[in-house]
Amino acid sequence: MFDLDRWNEIWHALAKNKVRSLLTAFGVFWGIFMLIVMAGASNGLKNGIVEGVAKFATNSCFMWSQQTGEPYKGFKRGRQWNMESDDITYILNNVPEVEYISPKNFGSRMNGGPNTIHGLKSGAYNVKGDYPEYIKIDPYTILQGRWINDMDIRDKRKVCVIGEKVFEQMFDAKENPLGDYLKISGVYYQVIGVIRPETNININGRAEESIFLPFTTMQQTYNMGNMVHFLAVTAKKGTPVSVVEEKVKSIIKLRHSIAPTDVQALMSINIEEQFKQISGLFIAIGLLTWIVGIGTLMAGVIGVSNIMLVIVKERTKEIGVQRALGASPRTIITQIMLESVALTTIAGYTGLSMGVGLLELVSKIIDSQPKTGNEVFFRNPEVSITVAVAALIILVLAGLFAGSIPAKRALMIKPIEALREE
Partner 1 sequence: MISIQDLHKSYVTGNNSLHVLKGLNLEIKEGEFVSIMGSSGSGKSTLLNILGVLDDYDKGNYYLSGKRIWGLNETQAAITRNAMIGFIFQSFNLISFKNAMENVALPLYYQKVSRKKRNLIAMEYLDRLGLKDWAHHLPSELSGGQKQRVAIARALISNPKIILADEPTGALDSQTSLEVMDILKEVNDQGITVIIVTHEHDIAALTKKIIRLKDGVIGEIITNGDLQNYRNRLTQE
Residues in the chain: 422
Please state the closest distance from residue 342 (CB atom) to partner 1, in A: 16
- Residues engaged in binding partner 1 (CB under 8 A): 5, 8-9, 12-13, 16-17, 317-318, 320-331, 411, 414-416, 419, 421
Angle at 83 between CA 82 and CA 89, to 5 degrees: 160
- For partner 1, give the closer residue by CB, 46 or 323: 323
- 293 φ/ψ angles, rounded to the nearest 5 degrees: -60, -50
Please state the closest distance from residue 276 (CB atom) to partner 1, in A: 60
Please state the closest distance from residue 414 (CB atom) to partner 1, in A: 7
- For partner 1, give the closer residue by CB, 74 or 326: 326
- For partner 1, give the closer residue by CB, 20 or 77: 20
Question: Which residues lie across from 60 on neighbouring strands?
Answer: 234
Exposure of 74 by Cβ count < 10 A (0-12 exposed, 13-18 middle, 19+ buried)? exposed
- For partner 1, give the closer residue by CB, 236 or 408: 408
Please state the closest distance from residue 364 (CB atom) to partner 1, in A: 43
Exposure of 173 by Cβ count < 10 A (0-12 exposed, 13-18 middle, 19+ buried)? exposed
- For partner 1, give the closer residue by CB, 76 or 421: 421
CB atoms closer than 10 angstroms to residue 57: 20
Please state the closest distance from residue 284 (CB atom) to partner 1, in A: 49
Please state the closest distance from residue 309 (CB atom) to partner 1, in A: 19
CA–CA gap between residue 131 and residue 137 (Å, rounded)? 11
Instruction: Give the start-end residues of each E strand in 70-186.
Output: 83-84, 98-106, 116-118, 121-123, 126-130, 140-145, 159-163, 181-184
Of 283, 376, 314, 246, nearest in space to 19 by CA = 314
- For partner 1, give the closer residue by CB, 22 or 92: 22
Please state the closest distance from residue 369 (CB atom) to partner 1, in A: 51
Q: Is the Cβ–Cβ distance between 238 and 97 less than 8 Å?
A: no
CA–CA gap between residue 150 and residue 133 (Å, rounded)? 9
Please state the closest distance from residue 405 (CB atom) to partner 1, in A: 18
- For partner 1, give the closer residue by CB, 113 or 422: 422
Alpha helices in 74-181 (DSSP H): 85-94, 134-137, 150-155, 164-170
- For partner 1, give the closer residue by CB, 324 or 389: 324
Q: Is the Cβ–Cβ distance between 213 and 128 less than 8 Å?
A: yes
Question: Which residues lie across from 88 on neighbouring strands?
Answer: none
